[in-house]
Amino acid sequence: MSLLLAWSMTVTSFLTTEAQADWYVGAYGGLASPGEFSNATLSSAMLGGGVTDARISDLELKNGPVWGAKLGNFFKTRPWVALEADVYTLTQDVKQQVIVGGTTSGSVFAATLPGSPLRLTPVTMNIIVRSPNISELFQPYGGIGYGLIFVASSQGGASNLHISSGLNLLAGARIRLAPKWSLFGEFKFNRATIRFNDLRGNYDAQLFVGGLMWHFM
């Protein structure tokens, strides 16, 4: 009973307090669901009898786990706006599949593209916006960001790393459990043009994540 009373008093306090500026750090995990790898081009000495920048059909990528951490601050003078640094990593392995392609000379080919591991690590800086009039107990928010994406893959036993830039959109909400702790859930959307192995194309993915946040100032 005493614990319930204490929590009720904390909730009442949050409900009567406007959103305040704060520093926070959070960790999260979830699932990444990629769209098709579109507008793809292939340069390979092995497939299609040897091709350079051949246009191929869209590729299927696998769903995979995502893990990340973030650090941000809602400004004291403008507590509805924050800058947030976000780093996360996700696996989006390429499925083994049959591809159909064509070259600029007009030749058409079909080949089996072997499956390969693919890991992306975006490092983004986001602008986050929340309503200053919503209580500290429940805070929906949205944001937009841009950053670098480190793309790690392997081919024929050799690893390679490429760096691209990309867009990050997000929407979420956090629920205050205590003055220093919050639970949060987010939807993220990533879009970028990336390169890995012999391929280049447009990548996008939907991320569904949840985690724990600590407010330290």
Q: How far is CA 76 from the centre of its chain?
A: 28
Q: What is the structure's pLDDT at 105? A: 80
Residue 79 has pLDDT above 80, yes or no: yes
Position 23 scores a pLDDT of 93
Given a cut of 90, is residue 17 above it in pLDDT?
no
Q: Is the pLDDT of residue 9 over 70?
A: no
Check: CATH 2.40.160.20 for 2-215?
A: yes
- Positive or negative CA dihedral for 83, 88, 92, 93? positive
Mean pLDDT of 5-29: 60
Q: What is the pLDDT of residue 8?
A: 42
pLDDT digits (tens, 9 = 90+) for 135-170: 778 999 999 999 999 999 987 777 889 999 999 999
Asked whether residue 182 carries a pLDDT value surpassing 70, the answer given is: yes
Q: Where are the domains of the chain?
A: 2-215
Report the predicted TM-score, pTM, of the whole model to 2 decimal places.
0.84
Tell me the C-alpha distance between 159 and 197, whole Å.
Answer: 9
